[in-house]
Amino acid sequence: MEHIEKTFETRELTISMGPQHPATHGVLRLVLNLDGETVVRCTPYVGYLHRGVEKLGENRTYFAALPLSDRLDYISSMNNNVGYVNAVEKLFGIEAPERAKFIRTMVAEMGRISSHIIWLGTHVLDIGATTPFLYAFREREVIMDLFEMLCGARLTVSYPRVGGVRNDISQEFLDELYDFVLDFPSKMDDYETLVTENRVWKNRTVGIGVISAEEAINWGLTGGTLRGSGVNYDVRKHAPYDVYDRVEFDVPLGKNGDCYDRYLVRIGEMRQANRIIKQCIEKLPAGPVMADAPKFTLPPKDMVLKDMEHLIHQFILITKGPTVPEGEVYMGTEVPKGELGFYFVSDGTGKPYRMRVRAPSFVHASVLPRLCEGGLIADVIANIGTIDIVLGECDR
């Protein structure tokens, strides 16, 4: 009898999910140990998209390292740019003029909507709903067109500059953005009609990937992933930068910390972002869009073309970089994924001695084993979607 019992022994099955799996949102590789359909152990492997952004930043001047930040989280490059320039401005000790700050807040919230829309589309697509994906990309296209009108690029914008923004906005842009802002809540209602109450969606997300508030804090989660657990932490509220202290918005919070609550939080964030954009347009003051700090900002382009002094400034600032006060600075900003922090150590030259990027996606990827283990293999997809990671930022 003993002999027969041994033949019924089951074994764990190890499968590798990714790095080219379409549902892993990039090049994330998960090695899953399965017992039947239950995940026993989940090990994320990151680094397939490593480009050494931090090291590259040390070999470029503070101005020229800006496009690197576009390529961290490439679907919300505007927010990364705003985070980068805010950190550098804090190090330089300069401040952007009012109008530039309003424009930055406005475009950053556009980036947030664009990022959350793509998250919504892909997350529900992973779980099986195709229609919201197509609708989501329709609205994203409008924002991409607006970005193109604003700065000439659709995805990797490189629009804000240290000390302001690259160019002033046009009236045409403001008109079209206002059209979009007035129109967008009805589009949000469409998404919610399709998804929020849908029983298939609820079965796949309610009670899946539950993480308590205390645990979420201990794992270092930020952004929508943390707020889904009911922790009221938003960098825009607690350490306001740009003009977030002068616009009204609420921070949507979840209760149970499951996939469904995180979905509701992000849906709420999109509505709030829309509200912020509307206020920014209405309150937009007149004035300069670049700080008057000749030591730290590039001179006006038309003056460079005709004036010797400005030309010399241009040469020095571009080749050597600005002369920066020594010291170190950390600046966290709220990007769609969570808290993106830039940490600079300056040795007084035009290039940073050390540039460190605190990438929310990297922290969020580390919580995947906690969310997946003990659950079903189908819920792994839901969990990857719900923490909203982008591997460009995770691997840097």
Give one DSSP letter per residue of 42-55, joined into a string: EEEE--TT---HHH
Minimum CB distance to other proteins, residue 310 (Å):
9
State CA 253 to chain mean position distance: 18
Query: Quick one: which of 245, 250, 292, 326 contacts other proteins (CB under 8 A)?
Result: 292
- Residue written as token pair 């705003």: 82
Report the site for other proteins in 23-52 (rule: CB under 8 A): none
- At residue 246, the 3 state secondary structure works out as coil
Number of helices and strands (H, E) in the chain?
A: 18, 8
C-alpha–C-alpha distance, residues 251 and 257, integer Å = 15
- At residue 165, the 3 state secondary structure works out as strand
Query: Quick one: which of 169, 221, 253, 270 contacts other proteins (CB under 8 A)?
Result: 169
Minimum CB distance to other proteins, residue 166 (Å):
6
* Residue 375 CA: distances (Å) to CA of 42, 76, 77, 129, 371: 10, 31, 34, 21, 8
| 145 binds other proteins per the rule CB under 8 A | yes
| 204 binds other proteins per the rule CB under 8 A | no
Minimum CB distance to other proteins, residue 175 (Å):
5
Query: Quick one: which of 23, 40, 217, 304 contacts other proteins (CB under 8 A)?
Result: 304
**Ranges of H-type helices in 206-258:** 213-218, 223-227, 235-238
Stretch that binds other proteins, among 31-39, 114-122, 162-170, 210-218 (CB under 8 A): 162-170
| 248 binds other proteins per the rule CB under 8 A | no
- According to DSSP, residue 256 is labeled S
Closest among 68, 105, 71 to 86, alpha carbons compared: 105
Query: Quick one: which of 149, 210, 239, 251 contacts other proteins (CB under 8 A)?
Result: 149
Question: Can you give the length of the chain in residues?
Answer: 396
- At residue 332, the 3 state secondary structure works out as strand
| 199 binds other proteins per the rule CB under 8 A | yes
| 302 binds other proteins per the rule CB under 8 A | yes
Query: Quick one: which of 54, 58, 95, 168 contacts other proteins (CB under 8 A)?
Result: 168
C-alpha–C-alpha distance, residues 80 and 100, integer Å = 16
| 376 binds other proteins per the rule CB under 8 A | no
Query: Quick one: which of 22, 36, 128, 287 contacts other proteins (CB under 8 A)?
Result: 287
Residues that bind other proteins (CB under 8 A): 60, 63-68, 70-71, 99, 131, 135, 138, 141, 145, 148-149, 151-153, 156, 158, 161, 164, 166-171, 173-175, 178-179, 182, 190, 193-194, 197-199, 281-284, 286-290, 292, 297-298, 300-305, 311, 314-315, 318-319
